[in-house]
Amino acid sequence: MHDRLKKNKITIISEIHPQHHGSMDELKRMVLQSKIGGADYVKVQLYSSKKLFNNNDRKYVELTKEELKEIANYSRKIGIETIASVFDEERIKWCEDLKFKLYKIASLTIKNKQLCKKIISTNKPVIASLGMYNFRKKGTPFKSKNVSYLYCISKYPTNLSEVKMPDFKKSFFTGYSDHTVGIGTCLHAVSRGAKIIEKHFTLNKAINCETEKAHVCSMNFEDLKALRENADILSILNS
């Protein structure tokens, strides 16, 4: 049973940024709870608020290179890897210096060909969300074989009626990046063959903040534990 569970284990990515309000202590608590809850990776977002959003509204949640190093080292110390959605080339260099093993291309940057090419050229595994890309008309955006794709709706929160979950066994999608409330849609994705689940993580779902819209559709520690247990059971039943 143990070998079969390991073979069919679903990869869960706990997105801990930007739901930390700019607090490194909060970020570390989220890393620790993600590890204990069963996540395989924790994910941060690396950007300049001024460059990406043309304002400084999100500057308070930006991570410096030293803060990224602190989080990456802390994560490795407790046995979980940090990965990143990277929004400019300078921050790719940060990740390379810290020997990151996996990159994420966010829906927002999928059309930034130069940046995506730079990320893919690291020759590390890459996952890409297609929430802002017309895949039904255009197919996959990259030819590289080291890119895996996540089905995604880029809306916080996503209404259940908006989700048109693919059959992952017949689709080019490998997994699902979720912005619905709760974990039900994630489990539905696993039941349809998804091998990767990405979802925001929070310590407090009740927070209402314009620059941290993901709280309401985030999972907490109990949600993550339930997702880990039930996703692996569903994966075994699918095999």
pLDDT tens for the chain, 239 residues long, are 334 344 568 999 999 988 888 899 999 999 999 999 999 999 999 998 888 888 888 788 899 999 999 999 999 999 999 999 999 999 999 999 999 999 999 999 998 999 999 999 999 999 999 998 899 889 899 999 999 999 999 999 999 999 999 999 999 999 999 999 999 999 999 999 999 999 999 998 887 766 667 788 999 999 999 999 999 999 989 88
* Cα dihedral 71, 74, 79, 82 in deg (nearest 10): 10
pLDDT at position 8 is: 63
DSSP string, 60-93: GG---HHHHHHHHHHHHHHT-EEEEEE-SHHHHH
Whether the bond into 125 is cis, omega within 30 of 0: no
Closest by Cα among 14, 1, 4, 6 to 203: 14
CA distances from 171 to 166, 176, 211, 224 (A): 7, 12, 33, 26
- Map residue 105 onto helix, strand or coil: strand
Closest by Cα among 10, 28, 8, 7 to 203: 28
CA distances from 162 to 33, 85, 131, 144 (A): 30, 24, 12, 29
192, two tokens: 């349809």
Asked if residue 83 lies in contact with residue 100, where contact means CB atoms within 8 angstroms, the answer is: yes
Closest by Cα among 4, 15, 26 to 179: 15
213, two tokens: 């819209």
- Give the whole-angstrom CA distance, residue 162 versus residue 217: 14
Global pTM value: 0.93
With 0-12 CB in 10 A as exposed, 13-18 as middle and 19+ as buried, what is 109? buried
- Map residue 239 onto helix, strand or coil: coil
Domains of the chain: 9-238 (3.20.20.70)
